[in-house]
Structure 1
């Protein structure tokens, strides 16, 4: 069933996308980076802009858990102009840079890839266009384009990037002898099975999220809280609300909220989403923050296992490293319902004072600095 709101349609398409594309991506990744390169790498940088940068943050913990190589997720500007200057051909194929841009045309991502090459790094371009500037700069490319779907604030492209990066981490860990072949295959099976998890979760969450969006339509803004992989989901939720509705929206680390955003005025006008997967390493802190939100009289939603929430969406027990795939579907659904409730056009329609962004010009037409 489709709706006039293309964001709803993209969210609804995620279960099948996860089920089918996980194995297609795994088959491609199995052949893409030579074994000698995987053994040689000493540092990994995950980079991109916008949703692609968030995807790196969502997968960062998987690399740390399984690969045994220092890994950092960074925006393309930070990677290009601050991080990569620390390298100077010290070690072969280091750093390995996994650079994500579905179009392959985003200037800062291309710049980061080119800088990585200039210091002896090995660049894997995650893109839907191997002939793009990113594709031409990269040592190898992976096709992360999702099957065509009506345009909306990016849901499918984000989930594709998160799946790809997680699968890369599993493959690297397997090749480097950090996990067995059987363990690696079990992990891939867990990722593919998230399609069913997302489907069940969306069915259960749709009604509560629709009611919440109607109640929050007139609020000043929406703030997302999370820690670890859930912080990436918080960033993604904020991005979707901004794109879909134009409302003020932000995200913040769960601990840093208590130090900073806790003191915001007009707390009753700030819809707040606290994301905490079952079994999260930060679950205890989430439980402590929950009553603070209530005392502040913030209208708030818990995604996951958080006590004391007046409104909540349950998260099935999945591996914390993989939970962002499920969390993305929930926050995307919330943004879609908010778009319905506010009557907004995604990206402000790229008209008026937002006309500069038409065709992605504000991200693609920037000068490269090398």
Structure 2
């Protein structure tokens, strides 16, 4: 019987352990490589033709090529995207993911406790797709020659001014309440069914200001129907390069963006999430996809799951603070 020294025996044991670990890891790696094994479904909580829907459909074809399986966009519209988000959170087939907006992944349950999923517990973050600022707009003939003088006029007007949003608890609503807390202005909130109605009310002179998505705001500013005051991001945006940020206009520490992202059910295996994240991030960073997203009004990102998780936590903390302070509720 061979006789081994203690060092030789330890080396053999280490080699044996490494071999066993390799054998154990092989099925896991093979399982990740074999996924997806059937068509992948992207749930969108908004109707066909909406911004999240257009983004999901732009991702579908290159994702099919990257993963080797058909990718189907499934519209589950309603409740500000929460019906679709709930469907993703409760999916158990291992092949359902969601293209969601930031409200679905951060503050949905803070705004409405009746929401049936927990944004911070029921999802596995995959990848941030695109970000965009909102644009603070006013009627074309609004007071003041620049952003600081406009804010002076708004502070002097107090509650005689009003602002519109596409509903209680939307980013346009909470973003304006955040602006009020940081700038000393005090316009009264008037909720509308959607952004088109908000725009019509501003043009008609029924509202003095609002925060609109850049694609909508830009077209109307260029047409002379609205006046752009500033963007809500921390610095200037390539989507609206001619406007200053609100922070540059004197609203210290103001930074708010809308975004969309891919997320999976929290039960999806980590290896599958990482494979999906690598594919989505790579697609978003291609010149073709960057151009498509920019045309849709997004600054393309493409991120790791960890970066998206950090974004979710940070936004939930900031917006949650405003929700609690102002007792905002969509119940």
For the aligned pair, the TM-score class normalised by the smaller chain equals: 0.3 to 0.5
Which of the two has greater helix per residue? Answer: 1
Q: TM-score, normalised by structure 2?
A: 0.36
Is the radius of gyration larger for structure 1 or structure 2? Answer: 2
